[in-house]
Each structure stands twice: as C-alpha cells, then as structure tokens.
Structure 1
Amino acid sequence: MIRNSSQTKSSVFATSSMVKIGMLSALGMILMLLDFPLPIFPSFLKFDLSDAPAVIGAFAMGPAAGVMIEFLKNVLKIIVRSNTGGVGELANFLVGVAYVLPLALIFKRWPSKKGVIGGSLVAIVSGSFFAGVLNYFVFIPAYAVVLGYPVDAFVSMAAKINTAVVDLRTLVLFAIVPFNIVKGIVVAVSGVVLYRALRPLWKM
C-alpha cells in the first residue's frame, strides 16, 4: 500500500522539500522538451510525461508541492525554449493543475490504493474537461493569433487524422479530450510506478 509521505513533520517549504521540488521541476521541464506526436492524434498535440514529476511530488509532499512543480517546470520551459509565446506553457500549467490537484487532494484524504485509483480517475476526468474547455475558449484561438494560423488550420490538421473533426467543437471533442484522457492514464500509471520506486528517497 502506498503511504502518504506528505504527512511528515517537515513543511513543504522546508529546505529538503524545496530541493526535491526543484529537482522534480527540472525533470518536468526536460520531459517537456522531449515531447513527441502520437500517430492517432493531430501533430500539433504533443505527448510528454512532464506531469509525472508533479504527481510524484504531490504524492510525496502534498498538493502544494504538486502545483509548485507544475508552475516551476513551465517557467523553466519558457526560459529555456518556448515556441508558442508562452501560450503552450500556460496551457500546460493550467491543465496540469486541473489534473494534479484533485489527485493530490484525494490521496491526501485517503492515502491508500483506493485513494490512488479514485484520485487518478478524478484527475483524468478533471484534466480532460478543463483541457477541452480551455482549448475551446482560450488556447486554440490564442495559438492561432501567436502562430499566425487560422483556427481552421488546426481543424484541417485534425481532420486528416479523424474525419469526425469538422470544426472547433469537434476538434475539442474528438481530438483534444481523447488525447488528454490517454495522456492522463499514462501519467497516472508512470507517476505511481516511479513514486513507489523512488519512495526511499523521500525519507532522506
């Protein structure tokens, strides 16, 4: 059974915790740089495991640590390399928080296998929902402005993969939301596996 390491005497802002947060943030940024497209989704949707370090930090040090890792990794990414004028990093942060925060809060309340499973399911739903809403109203239009592409260009790219995509609404429903469901599942599994493997380090 996974035990909640956030219930330790040290605060999330203790020196040792801040070092771990910094390391996980740097790892998250590196994983963002190693993104790649999946053949079943349009090429502008890049897959990465950068939320996994935030999941690990949230399990080990609590919700605040998970949110901080999401924030810092995106700040580092903007400093090192941003191809979207910060739009991609803002999207990654907000959707990442929508994913990590409910997972961390549920695990903090129920630090058990059931808490992990339940928290992961809620996180996948929450992250996918907010990804859909934010992309529809904010991020796809913002990408269009920053990159100089019309919204229809994104729709056309997605339609080449999935003919059900005919407009922005169906782009969100049949590409962005499914993409985030797949990503959420992979991140949850990898985050739990890595946390269990690295658990001895959190006691140092």
Structure 2
Amino acid sequence: MKKDTTHNLTVAAMLSAVAFILMFIEFPIPMLIPAFIKMDFSDLPALLGAFALGPVYGVIISFMKNLLHIVIKGTSTACVGELSNFILGAIFSAVAGYLYKHHKSRKTAIIGAVAGAVAMGVLSVPSNYFVVYPAYVQFYHMPLEAILGMYQAILPSADSLIKCLILFNLPFTLVKGLLDAVLCMLIYKPLSPILHGRR
C-alpha cells in the first residue's frame, strides 16, 4: 500500500511538472476568440493522471500545475487566470477519471474523456459568469465593458457576457478538451508502463 502511494505521488509530481511546462506553450486564436484566452495542452497530464491514478489525482495535478505557475513564474492576472484554469481542468479530469475508474476499457476512456470535455465546456459558462469574470473585474481591475469589447471586436452582436460565454468560451473550451482527449488516446498506451509502474 505504501509502495503504491509513493508511486502515485511520484507520478503525480512528474505529471504536474509536465503540465506546468505545457502552460508556457500557449497561443491565441485571435479570429475565433479574444486574445487573452489562449489555447494550450496543459490539461493533458491531468487527464493522463486521472486515468492512471484516479480522478482525485487528476484534480491534484490541475491544482499543482497552477500553484507552480504562480510560485515560479508569477501571475499576470491577479491569480484569476490560474483559478479559471484550475476549475476547468479539475472538472475535465475528475469527470473523465470517475467514469473510467468504474469500468476500465478503451471505450470507457473515450466516453470519459468526451464527457469530461463536454462538462468542462458547459460548466465554463457558469464558472466564468459567476466567478472568473467578476474576479477579473474586482481584482484585475478590468471593466466588464472592456472585456465585452474584446468579444465585440470579433462579433459585434455579442452584447452581453452570457452571450459571449455561450458563443465563444463554451465551444472553445469543448474543442480544447476534445483535442486533449485525442492526444491522451494516442499516448496513454505507450506511457502506461511508466504511469502504472510496470516494466
């Protein structure tokens, strides 16, 4: 039991470090979503961890990568960006890992990853509406009108926050999760011996 716990913590630490590094490889998609929202693949290690170690470890990896980002790199968003990244990453990995945990097969892994991506996309709307964007306004001192203006530069009819989140953030977050899911399916089997401590 102690050996399993030590292995799980070691793998979780390794995946957290990889996720932290992947946070630096980000890029905007300016024609599709405001530039302050960037595409990255840092949720992939948390998804791998959720499948290999369980959903709780997926959440821990999501938390640790953001903590490392704040401590080592510092925050440029008054920690609001890291909070958003953690909330959505935790939802993604927890849902996927929970579904996979109860019946471990490739089919269930695919179902879990897709369900996690859908949950992350759908729940990005209330989490951004009630928590993240109000926090940006409060702590980052960015007026809501300025945030809406970035969306309206792409789609002038996006005249309310809820409309912006549904039209832009939800599909963007869903696609981001699905891309992570595809990458996970491609690399999970080759990495499985390392993740599970098997030779």
Give distance in 2, aligned partners of 1:190 and 1:133. Answer: 27
Letter aligned with residue 77 of structure 2: T
Q: Calculate the TM-score normalised by the size of structure 1.
A: 0.89
Matched residue, 1:5: none
Give distance in 2, aligned partners of 1:35 and 1:85. Answer: 19
Q: Deviations over 1:6-57 (max 9, x none)?
A: xxx6776x22221111111011111112222113211111111111000111
Q: Deviations over 1:120-147 (max 9, x none)?
A: 2211221112211010111112112222
Structure 2 unaligned segments of length 5 or more: list them: none
Aligned residues: 195
Contact kept? 2:125, 2:170, Cα under 8 Å: yes
Matched residue, 2:148: 155
SS at match of 2:78: coil
Aligned counterpart in structure 1 of residue 88 of structure 2, from 92, 95, 99:
95
Alignment pair present for 1:16 and 2:46: no
Q: Calculate the TM-score normalised by the size of structure 2.
A: 0.91
Contact kept? 1:54, 1:69, Cα under 8 Å: yes
Matched residue, 2:47: 55
Letter aligned with residue 183 of structure 1: K
Q: Deviations over 1:148-180 (max 9, x none)?
A: 221111111112223341111111111111110
Contact kept? 2:23, 2:41, Cα under 8 Å: yes
Residues 96-111 of structure 1 mapped to structure 2, 5 A cutoff: 96-111=89-104
Letter aligned with residue 33 of structure 1: F
Contact kept? 1:164, 1:174, Cα under 8 Å: no
Alignment pair present for 1:26 and 2:17: yes
Identity of aligned residues (%): 35
Give distance in 2, aligned partners of 1:194 and 1:155. Answer: 38
Matched residue, 1:3: none
Alignment pair present for 1:41 and 2:33: yes
Residues 172-187 of structure 1 mapped to structure 2, 5 A cutoff: 172-187=165-180
Structure 1 unaligned segments of length 5 or more: list them: 1-8
In angstroms, what is the RMSD of aligned CA positions? Answer: 1.6
SS at match of 1:33: coil
